[in-house]
Structure 1
Amino acid sequence: MALYHIEENTLAPIKKTAFEQEALRERQDIQRLLKENIEVLEDDLLVISEEYGEFEESRRRIDLLAVDSDANLVVIEIKRTSDGGHMELQAIRYAAMVANMTWENAIDAYDQYLESIEDAESKLLDFLKWDEPKRDEFANRIRIILTSADFSKEITTSVLWLNQMDLDITCIRLELFKLNDDLIINSQQIIPLPETESYQIAVREKRREIQAAKESYKDRSTYTLLMNNEVYEEGFKKSDLGYIAVTALSEYGLLDQAGFEFLRADKSCSFQLLKTLDEITDNEKKYSKYRYKKQPEIIFNNEGYFVARNWGVLYVDGFIEKLANQFKALQILKD
């Protein structure tokens, strides 16, 4: 973006410069100036911490941590580079680290930031226009603001995709110009484009509604298992179907060699029902297809086995029917 200075009847271009060229440092200069003039980035922001780093087992620090007028936490990451470095990855880490921040945590951070000179809680309540703390409404979403002299294509592409995945990331470009001995900063929001922001918010809200509708159609059925017509376990979900069935058969002494081999070979849920720890693949571990981090769930012939838990709706009825045909004492009912 070019800036021009009006000189009588002509427009004279204002020379563009760089933070490095003008010896402006990232933390001591740019961060300090933005902290005191946060409206340069966005209206209705309140900075509650600088260099926030109250994280377990981490030395990372958030440049600026703010709250917006909707009581969302806002992680602000600042770079003076012309490509933004890897700031989007850093900011996502920071957002995850403060995702569980409570009202009390925020007040503690703000109190340290104010150096206890002012009442942190009163100032935050005034900013939010709350008469009293509304803990259930605080920090329900974490927003991210990235600000840099410019952004690489890798960052802008990543941010656009992440926003489609329901993150809330804003990119603001800070361009530095020089007019005589004066330095001029031009703050420009490039993602999302201001003229499309309201539309993108509407799209994001619609996506959430669709996802919520999908969630409402998920199968949340529960089951009851009977042994010899007596209730063994009730109210369990389909993910525990195989585990409870195998456990019941074992406890009732119904697992002879033939019964065990029948269960061992079963792949009703698309995965082998029983596996030893050594047999569980890395991919099955990654997607938690077996509870392999616990003790073996069944012992047979002095060997420990884990039970598959990948029970989709389509697999359940067939497995129940197979069990009923093989083990006459066992019955599984849908609640």
Structure 2
Amino acid sequence: MPLFHYTTDRLQPVAETTFGAEGILERQDLQRLLREQIDALGERLLVIAEEFGDWADSARRIDLLCLDTDANLVVVELKRTEDGGHMELQALRYAAMVSTMRFDQLVDTHAKYLNRLAAGPAPDTDAARAAILGFLNWTEVNQSQFAQDVRIVLASANFGRELTTAVMWLNERNLDIRCVRLKPYRLNAETVLLDVQQIIPLPEAAEFQTRIDVKKQAERQDRSDRKVLRAQFWEALLDLARPRSQAHAGRSATTDGWLSGKIGRTGFDLNYVVRRHDAQVELWIGFGTGKSELNRKAFDALKAQQAAIEADFGAPLDWQELPESEGCRIRCVLPDGGYQSPAEQWPQIHERMVAAMIRLETAMRARVAKLVL
């Protein structure tokens, strides 16, 4: 968006410029000024150190290491370039490196920083500790609240699409990375203006975005929990099924909602299926992409024997031709029990599923083998 100089009779556009054109340097100018006025980035921070690199086997240094009012560490990376380069990758490395910092190390780091600024004879850890506690409004150290997270602030003249895409993707996965644009404008021969805007996440949408992120995080956790439950469910079922049937003897537990087995002929699978609150056993007919006519021919040949098959199975079956799918299904749904049932009910659910699968295999195996297609 353009910047205008407001006068009583007109809006005068202010010319954009660059840090390079103005001779503004990254470290000597931008970093120095932000160090002295860190609130310009849009939040209250305490600068703990400048050019921090107190770790082994690395010459890398954090431009500004800060602390926020929630006692989280904040890595601030600065660039005067128009695309931000690869600063998000640098900042992620730095965040990982400082994530294990203890409070006493923070105090020691801040003491060295204050000593360097004041050109004192020796670091004063008592003064540094008092400054940190005062900033946090703590009367004493609260170790359980210190550095629960490491946040990242990226400040640059602009950001490339690759960088912003990466930052938004990382934020969706519960990181906290902010992009602050530092845009210089030339007002007149004597004056350069600096427009400081947080562009990711947009401040106006921060609360809404937080709600979305919480929802997405809950959904991801729910998907993860479901996968763990299904894997445990299948493992216990296979322990019961393997000694009683060869159809799934070579299978291992998965995190999927189904578990396929063989009936002795290509194009036919005996599948266990489990959902949250019910399960099923099925014969799946699927010869592959573009083989819908062959699928239907096999399905029709078996359906012609429906009465005899259901008599052997011992109950009615659900015959699904599924014309819009890549296969056909013959199934028996077993209600009142899925992977989200209490674990103490799983043995009964597994027993019903295995017994139904054995009956389905008995009713289908010989007939599938004799089909002429």
Identify the TM-score tier after normalising by the shorter chain.
0.5 to 0.7
Secondary structure, counterpart of 2:80 in structure 1:
coil
Return closer, same or farther for 1:211/1:133 CA change in 2, 3 Å cut-off: farther
Q: Where does residue 138 of structure 1 map in the other structure?
A: 146
Distance of 1:215 and 1:106 partners within structure 2: 36
Distance of 1:215 and 1:13 partners within structure 2: 53
Q: Where does residue 174 of structure 1 map in the other structure?
A: 182
Would the aligned equivalents of 2:178 and 2:200 in 1 still touch at CA under 8 Å? yes
Offset at 1:165? 0.9
Distance of 1:135 and 1:8 partners within structure 2: 56
Q: Where does residue 185 of structure 1 map in the other structure?
A: 194
User: What is the aligned counterpart of 1:204 among 203, 207, 213?
Assistant: 213
Q: Where does residue 360 of structure 2 map in the other structure?
A: none
Q: Where does residue 204 of structure 2 map in the other structure?
A: 195
Q: Where does residue 166 of structure 2 map in the other structure?
A: 158
Describe the superposition over 1:256-277 as per-residue Cα deviations: whole angstroms up to 9, x where unpaired. xxxxxxxxx987468xxxxxxx
4+ runs deviating over 3 angstroms: 205-219, 265-270
Describe the superposition over 1:203-228 as per-residue Cα deviations: whole angstroms up to 9, x where unpaired. 33344455666777756xx9xxxxxx
Distance of 1:159 and 1:211 partners within structure 2: 19
Distance of 1:81 and 1:198 partners within structure 2: 30
Would the aligned equivalents of 2:17 and 2:184 in 1 still touch at CA under 8 Å? yes
How do residues 198-237 of structure 1 correspond to structure 2 at under 5 angstroms?
Answer: 198-209=207-218
Distance of 2:113 and 2:165 partners within structure 1: 34
Q: Where does residue 280 of structure 1 map in the other structure?
A: none
Describe the superposition over 1:17-36 as per-residue Cα deviations: whole angstroms up to 9, x where unpaired. 11001111101100001110
Q: Where does residue 71 of structure 1 map in the other structure?
A: 71
Offset at 1:7? 3.5
Offset at 1:83? 0.5
Distance of 1:160 and 1:122 partners within structure 2: 37
Q: Where does residue 127 of structure 1 map in the other structure?
A: 135
Q: Where does residue 6 of structure 1 map in the other structure?
A: 6
Return closer, same or farther for 1:15/1:107 CA change in 2, 3 Å cut-off: same
The residue type equivalent to 1:159 in the other structure is: V
1:149 aligns with 2:157: yes
Q: Where does residue 295 of structure 1 map in the other structure?
A: none
TM value normalised by structure 1 = 0.64
The residue type equivalent to 1:57 in the other structure is: D
TM value normalised by structure 2 = 0.57
Asked which structure has the greater CA Rg, the reply is: 2
How do residues 268-307 of structure 1 correspond to structure 2 at under 5 angstroms?
Answer: 268=252
For the aligned residue pairs, the C-alpha RMSD in angstroms reads 3.0
Distance of 1:6 and 1:266 partners within structure 2: 77
Distance of 1:204 and 1:138 partners within structure 2: 23
Structure (1/2) with the larger helix percentage: 2
Q: Where does residue 95 of structure 1 map in the other structure?
A: 95
Distance of 1:122 and 1:207 partners within structure 2: 40
Distance of 1:20 and 1:6 partners within structure 2: 27
Q: Where does residue 51 of structure 2 map in the other structure?
A: 51
Would the aligned equivalents of 2:173 and 2:217 in 1 still touch at CA under 8 Å? no
* Higher deviation after alignment, 116-125 or 69-78: 116-125
How do residues 248-263 of structure 1 correspond to structure 2 at under 5 angstroms?
Answer: none
Describe the superposition over 1:32-71 as per-residue Cα deviations: whole angstroms up to 9, x where unpaired. 0111011110221111011110122111100001011111
How many residue pairs end up in the alignment? Answer: 235
Offset at 1:11? 1.6
Distance of 1:69 and 1:99 partners within structure 2: 17
Distance of 2:224 and 2:90 partners within structure 1: 31
Distance of 1:77 and 1:171 partners within structure 2: 10
Distance of 1:202 and 1:269 partners within structure 2: 35
Secondary structure, counterpart of 2:139 in structure 1:
coil
Secondary structure, counterpart of 1:123 in structure 2:
helix
Structure 1, gaps ≥5 residues long? 223-237, 239-264, 271-312, 318-335
Distance of 2:168 and 2:222 partners within structure 1: 25
Q: How many percent identity over aligned positions? A: 45
Distance of 1:186 and 1:39 partners within structure 2: 14
